Amino acid sequence: MSTDAGRLAIEGGPPVRPSFLPFHRPSMGPEEEAEVVDTLRSGWLTTGPKTQRFEQEFARYLGARRALGVTSCTAAMHLGLVALGIGPGDEVITSPITFPATANVIVHVGATPVFTDVEPHTLNLDVKQLEARLTPRTRAIMPVHFAGHPCRMDALMEIARHHRLAVVEDCAHAIESMLHGRHMGTWGDVGAFSFYPTKNMTTAEGGMVVTANAELAERIGVLRLHGISRDAWKRYGHQGYRHWETLSAGFKYNMYDLQAALGLAQLPKLERFWARRHAIVEAYDAAFGSMPEIGRLAVQDSVRPAYHLYVIVLRTEELSRSRDEILDA
């Protein structure tokens, strides 16, 4: 009789599941199909009426004044820094636990990323260490709401305003996240969101910039499409031709209607998606709660996490295997 059944898969035993478990699979249905087909049949594929609708509905969901659709969260953060005038010689404080894009956009504008350590219980920027990292060259802070858990934006904004620093929030993980009932992305000068396929809602690729500052919104709207004063819908839409000017050297960062069509179908489902992830988190909490080998991130008071990622902390002193051996298993 085989004894393999009692062995771990990495030691030759049977795997827990016969097929690969994907990191994420987007949730799509007939609503997404209908919106995309409607867009294809409309003849208007680039930035147009559906992009405008999606921007308005996303802003309404967050309680934000303005939202501008772009090609990615990376583009959103880049545009935010450029519009705020961050550039060569400046320093921007950010988190070391993030996707490379957060630091990359700081480098792309010619500034220097300055990493501040994180809280061990949230993996977010440790606000208590922020002021020690300030120098005369510090111009901005880029907090990352890691795994969908909100940073302490109330305390962070107090420091930022006291030192007259701009704040660009990396909300790639944090569409549904709130602190004191207020959505992430609406605390700082600019909020940047991601609709990549692995995110809590998707437009295949895409992102959104939100801001309460009308002047910043105007500047970002121009910068996202080659620096010209009108997008294609405003130049050639149903209202007829309108003159336009090139106002500055801009980028090709505009969201288009095929992306927005997916967003319009996904956004009404977002709270249902969140409720499902919350239930899964509760199941994981129950399963791991009695395991001394595994630590979990803390959910702080007055916080609503987006539950984008479920993070565990391995207490390796309690384990006979290394972290990488567990990952390989």
- Residue 38, φ and ψ in degrees, nearest 5: -60, -40
Residue 252, in any domain of the structure: yes
pLDDT at 329 (0 to 100): 67
Residue 104, in any domain of the structure: yes
Mean predicted confidence (pLDDT) in 177-193: 99
Counting residues of the chain whose pLDDT is more than 70, the rounded percentage is: 93
pLDDT at 129 (0 to 100): 96
The answer to whether residue 240 scores a pLDDT higher than 90 is no
The answer to whether residue 1 scores a pLDDT higher than 50 is no
pLDDT at 50 (0 to 100): 97
Mean predicted confidence (pLDDT) in 188-199: 98
pLDDT at 326 (0 to 100): 77
Encode 301-325: b = buried (16+ Cβ within 10 Å), e = exposed.
eebbbbbbbeeeeeeeeeeeeeeee
Per-residue confidence band for 98, with pLDDT thresholds at 50, 70 and 90: very high
Longest dimension (CA), the chain: 82
Domain with residue 124: its CATH number is: 3.40.640.10
* pLDDT tens string 318-328: 888 888 887 77
* pLDDT tens string 103-122: 999 999 999 999 999 999 99
128 is catalytic: no
Residue 286, in any domain of the structure: no
Residue 6, in any domain of the structure: no
* pLDDT tens string 15-74: 888 887 788 889 999 999 999 999 999 999 999 999 999 999 999 999 999 999 999 999
Range of the domain at 95: 30-269
The catalytically annotated residue of 199, 234, 252, 269 is 199
pLDDT at 241 (0 to 100): 55
* Degrees, nearest 5: CA angle 50-277-75: 40
Encode 40-59: b = buried (16+ Cβ within 10 Å), e = exposed.
eeeebeebbebbbebbebbb
Per the structure, the count of domains in the chain is 1
- The pairing of strands 190-194 and 294-296 is unpaired
Residue 288, in any domain of the structure: no
The answer to whether residue 198 scores a pLDDT higher than 80 is yes
Mean pLDDT of the chain: 92
Residue 122, in any domain of the structure: yes
Mean predicted confidence (pLDDT) in 138-142: 99
What are residue 27's DSSP bridge partners?
Answer: none
With a CB cutoff of 8 Å and minimum separation 6, the contacts of 100 are: none
pTM comes to: 0.91
* pLDDT tens string 3-17: 566 677 777 788 888
Residue 17, in any domain of the structure: no
The answer to whether residue 218 scores a pLDDT higher than 50 is yes
Residue 103, in any domain of the structure: yes
Q: What is the rounded distance in angstroms from the CA atom of residue 320 to the CA atom of residue 10?
A: 14
Q: What is the rounded distance in angstroms from the CA atom of residue 87 to the CA atom of residue 232?
A: 29
